[in-house]
Chains A and B, each alone.
Chain A
Amino acid sequence: MSVLQMVLIALFIYLGASGSIVGNTIGWYCLGRPLVASFIVGLIMGDVQTAMLVGVPLQIAYLANVTPGGAVAWDLSYATYIGTATALALKGTVASTPCPDRSRLYRCRFGWRSRRHHVGIHYSLDVFLNRWAERLAEQGETRKMWMPNVLGGQAIGFLARFVPALAILAAINAAGSSSGLNIPGWFITGISTFGSMMAALGMGYHSELPGQEEYPLGYFLAGFVLVTYFGLNTMAVAIVGIIVAFIVYAADNRQEAF
């Protein structure tokens, strides 16, 4: 990775984090999604195909990433951008396992670590900005109300995301360029196994989302069997799924009418 690539990725990590300067609709809910993140990293690092291979299982793992009240504000952008960048930077360095498995290793590590990082720094330091906002409010300064929120909040947000992200990327780059990176095989096998389960965990969490208490697991399993064991085309099964959804919806409405 060149310095410019590292700075660009760190900048997107900051923009894709929750509550960045571009707003949650563009930042957290768009730039922060794993598939978008890996696509951007792929463009920056010049290998979109490998980046997307890393991004797809990650997207499924984080399928149910809803953060009500910021209560579980895991900074997804840390896991996705750094995870993908690590996979691309170390591609060819660790030769014993195929690429998607190897990338899972880094995703797991950074994913869990970044969650604590965000809650700790950003949520605590921003509290002091309230005193600033209260002072401005007491003086009736309508024109200056943006200062504690945007200026203060983003100064802390930038420091808490961009700087550590850049440091981690620099460390990964150093590890990637040194020839003596020696990760034992058993460790990669173990962490790859856990990494493979992440997608199932994502689906499991998704079935527990609010409003989906009666999640039809049967439909999900039927689709799984059709694709995996019957060898049918995923897109065709998805369309059949839409047809079934329409029929079930119509049948439900008819029952209510009587």
Chain B
Amino acid sequence: MAKTVSAKTLRNSFNQWFFWNGCSQQAETMLGMAFGQSMSPVIEELYDSKEDRAAALKRHITLFNTESQVGSVCNGIAIGMEEQLANGIGTPESIQEAKVALIGPTSAIGDSLWVATIILSCSP
């Protein structure tokens, strides 16, 4: 039977990212720990063995940084790819590469569209 991520887990993952994405932002992995935390409910649901969970967690606490609101797209894509990987499609490296590739575009769109335009238009 194919493994899927339930809607409840998705909501859980979203909440953990939405509220705590910047909690431990620092100079080494930026938002890496927060990304790992938001992926942890998904990893728990998809993988049963301790080794698989450890490997999945380790690839999600590496350097990651984006504009956290528009950048939550990255979480969605990473969850989708993890789901496929749990069903034997794709490689762990491809998830890493997709994440790193999305850092630039989502930051650029998020910072200029959301932070510099929409928030500005609403705040004064």
Contacts and interface: CB of A to CB of B under 8 A. Distances in A.
Interface of A: 18-25, 28-29, 33, 35-36, 59-60, 63-64, 66, 68-70, 122-127, 129-130, 133-134, 136-143, 145-146, 148-150, 152-154, 157, 206, 209-212
17 contacts: A19-B25, A24-B68, A25-B68, A59-B124, A63-B120, A66-B112, A125-B26, A130-B26, A137-B54, A140-B51, A140-B53, A141-B57, A145-B57, A149-B34, A210-B108, A210-B111, A211-B116
Interface in B29-62: 29-30, 32-34, 36-37, 40-41, 43-44, 50-54, 57-58, 61
- Nearest 5 CB-CB pairings of A with B: A19-B22, A153-B24, A126-B26, A140-B53, A137-B57
A145 B116 contact: no
A154 B28 CA distance: 17
Interface stretch (B12-20, B78-86, B88-96): B12-20
Main secondary structure of the interface of B (DSSP, over half): helix
A24 B69 CA distance: 8
**Interface secondary structure of A, over-half rule:** helix
Interface residues of B, number: 46
A145 B115 contact: no
Contacts of A69: 30, 65, 107
B27 interface: yes
Most chain A C-beta atoms within 10 Å of own C-beta, residue among B69, B113, B115: B115
Interface of B: 16, 18-30, 32-34, 36-37, 40-41, 43-44, 50-54, 57-58, 61, 65, 67-69, 107-108, 111-113, 115-116, 119-120, 123-124
A153 B33 contact: yes
B50 to A, nearest CB: 4
B20 A23 contact: yes
B40 A124 contact: no
A125 B18 CA distance: 23
